[in-house]
């Protein structure tokens, strides 16, 4: 199990606190994902330490989003293993065979993972408040009073203190995404998966959403796995950037290094295309 | 017998029976109205309301079962539902009436109407459930919501929104099918009009017209109500 540790040149983002005894929060071992005959990810090995923020970049179709979806168990893992806090998420080895883990264990691990989607995916039949308190009450077993109090403070944090009773469809895209962030944070996740969270937003509200995420990064120790096309954001918040192409990691390292001095030709090409430099 | 009365063609008109009289007799219409309203409430309305409730609930159960059961069982449920949907309701009424002789005809009627229309409504629900975007299911997974909460709080409420108009139309359709109860001897309103009143007095115009008007008077407000409900359930955009 190769666990690539970052040599971390002078850090812009503060380095993640790492304790050598603790297992990685996320670990991919020989992960393979295929849709039918189409191999999307192949022999993928990497790990993420607690509190680390990792951004996945690369052309579309390179498998970045699939990685987040595998961690969230939205896609079936067709080969290899994913460990969360050292425990197998979908499959484990038993007597030399690859067998699925009990559903109960998967559910338990999954409550530690939160996800924010490109299309927000708020429940349109519930109010903003109901969206946020549903899972804390019915999954985590919090009292309604606690869940509501927490929801209000999260809404404050994302700048929507007066929208608790609003319906999602009456909100703008940027506001919906801020509610979605609050909804994910209400579960106190160890791991937050951000799947192109600003791609569906109008350009003028992208900044607001990213600022909220910066603030979350600054004030919590939540581990983040980020897929984004916002390179400035990636550079600001991540400890590590992984460049994907064709289902493989082409290059990985500290954002400063990847963005200013990429080694691999594929990364150079991709970045110059995205950043509009020649 | 006038040529207006198609329904009455089978009735034997005794030669000595006078078939004269006005085409429309207000006094006669007034006289039969209470009986017809009673039959309407007692049978037509009862079967429709209880039948619709059964159909609405059972239809949803069928739709969900087809989606959550393991494949062979889901196929079995779907096959049985298709079979019921593809056979005429009159045949089902008569068969079940003779198969369950110890049950009264009205109960049989309610059950047959409920189950028959449940199979139609299950298709409507299925379409409604399939119209819930994939992202909604994914959000419930991301929030670790269990299957029961997912169905109850997210999928069913959103599926219902698009199904209300079709469900309402099936309710009205069931309502208009209630004269088939004639086949198992339930004297609902139309049977009363044609069979009892028409058959004994040889006056059909008033009874049949009144029956039609009562149907219209009940269907139209229902359709308006469904329309309103549909608008209320639509989200503000």
pLDDT by residue (tens digit) across A60-83?
888 899 999 999 999 999 999 999
What residue in A sits closest to B135 (Cα-Cα)? A121
Cα separation values, B37 from A154, B8, B41, B205, B213, Å: 59, 22, 6, 16, 11
Distance separating alpha carbons of residues A138 and A115, to the nearest angstrom: 18
Confirm whether pTM is higher than 0.90: no
Mark yes or no for CB contact A123/B139 under 8 Å: yes
Q: Return the pLDDT at B15.
A: 47
- Say which CATH class B33-233 falls into: mainly alpha
CB B97 within 8 A of CB B186: no
pLDDT by residue (tens digit) across A182-221?
999 999 999 999 999 999 999 999 999 999 999 999 999 9
Burial grade of A118 (CB within 10 A; 0-12, 13-18, 19 or more): middle
Q: For chain B, what are the domain ranges?
A: 33-233
For chain B, say whether A126 makes contact (Cβ under 8 Å).
Answer: yes
For chain B, say whether A114 makes contact (Cβ under 8 Å).
Answer: yes
Q: How many CB atoms lie within 10 A of CB A199?
A: 13
pLDDT by residue (tens digit) across A103-141?
999 999 999 999 999 999 999 999 999 999 999 999 999
Mark yes or no for CB contact A117/B236 under 8 Å: no
Report the gap between the CA of A269 and the closest CA in chain B (Å).
33
Report the gap between the CA of A15 and the closest CA in chain B (Å).
28
Report the gap between the CA of A134 and the closest CA in chain B (Å).
9
- A107, A117, A126 member nearest B144 (Cβ): A107
Mark yes or no for CB contact A125/B142 under 8 Å: no
pLDDT by residue (tens digit) across A212-248?
999 999 999 999 999 998 999 999 899 999 999 888 8
What six digits make up the tokens of A188? 């106190």
Distance separating alpha carbons of residues A66 and A62, to the nearest angstrom: 9
Angle of helix A203-219 versus helix A173-185 axis, rounded to 10: 20
For chain B, say whether A182 makes contact (Cβ under 8 Å).
Answer: no
Mark yes or no for CB contact A139/B235 under 8 Å: no
């Amino acid at each position: 199990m190769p666990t690539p540790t970052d040599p971390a040149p002078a850090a812009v983002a503060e380095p993640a606190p790492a304790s050598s005894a603790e297992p990685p929060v996320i670990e991919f071992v020989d992960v393979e994902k295929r849709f039918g005959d189409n191999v999307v990810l192949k022999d993928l090995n990497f790990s993420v330490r607690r509190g680390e923020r990792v951004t996945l970049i690369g052309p579309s179709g390179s498998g970045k989003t699939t990685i987040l979806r595998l961690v969230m168990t939205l896609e079936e893992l067709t080969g290899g293993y994913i460990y969360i806090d050292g425990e197998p998420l979908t499959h484990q080895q038993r007597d030399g065979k690859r067998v699925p883990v009990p559903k109960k264990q998967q559910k338990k691990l999954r409550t530690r993972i939160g996800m924010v989607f490109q299309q927000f995916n708020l429940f349109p039949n519930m109010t903003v408040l109901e969206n946020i308190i549903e899972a804390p009450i019915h999954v985590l077993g919090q009292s309604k009073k606690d869940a509501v109090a927490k929801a209000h403070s999260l809404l404050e944090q994302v700048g929507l203190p007066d929208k608790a009773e609003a319906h999602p469809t009456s909100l703008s895209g940027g506001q919906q995404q801020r509610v979605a962030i609050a909804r994910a944070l209400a579960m106190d996740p160890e791991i937050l998966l951000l799947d192109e969270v600003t791609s569906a937003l109008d350009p003028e509200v992208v900044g607001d959403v990213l600022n909220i995420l910066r603030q979350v990064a600054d004030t919590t120790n939540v581990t983040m796995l980020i897929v984004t096309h916002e390179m400035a954001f990636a550079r600001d918040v991540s400890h590590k950037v992984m460049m994907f192409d064709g289902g493989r990691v082409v290059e990985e390292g500290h954002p400063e290094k990847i963005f200013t001095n990429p080694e691999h030709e594929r990364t150079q090409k991709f970045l110059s295309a995205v950043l509009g430099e020649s | 017998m006038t040529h207006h009365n198609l329904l009455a063609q089978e009735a034997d008109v005794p030669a000595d029976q006078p078939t004269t009289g006005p085409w429309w007799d207000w006094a006669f219409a007034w006289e039969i109205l209470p009986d017809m309203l009673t039959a309407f409430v007692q049978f037509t309305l009862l079967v429709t309301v209880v039948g619709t409730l059964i159909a609405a609930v059972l239809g949803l159960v069928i739709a969900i079962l087809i989606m959550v059961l393991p494949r062979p069982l889901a196929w079995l449920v779907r096959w049985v539902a298709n079979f019921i949907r593809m056979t005429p309701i009159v045949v089902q009424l008569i068969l079940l009436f003779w198969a369950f002789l110890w049950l009264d005809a009205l109960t049989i009627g309610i059950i047959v109407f409920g189950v028959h229309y449940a199979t139609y409504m299950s298709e409507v629900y299925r379409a409604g459930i399939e119209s819930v975007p994939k992202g909604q299911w994914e959000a419930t997974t991301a929030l670790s919501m269990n299957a029961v909460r997912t169905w109850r709080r997210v999928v069913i409420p959103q599926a219902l929104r698009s199904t209300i108009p079709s469900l309402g139309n099936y309710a009205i359709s069931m309502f208009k099918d209630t004269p088939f109860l004639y086949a198992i001897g339930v004297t609902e309103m139309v049977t009363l009009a044609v069979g009892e009143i028409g058959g004994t007095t040889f006056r059909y115009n008033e009874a049949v017209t009144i029956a039609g008007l009562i149907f219209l008077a009940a269907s139209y407000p229902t359709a308006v109500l469904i329309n309103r409900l549909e608008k209320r359930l639509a989200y503000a955009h």
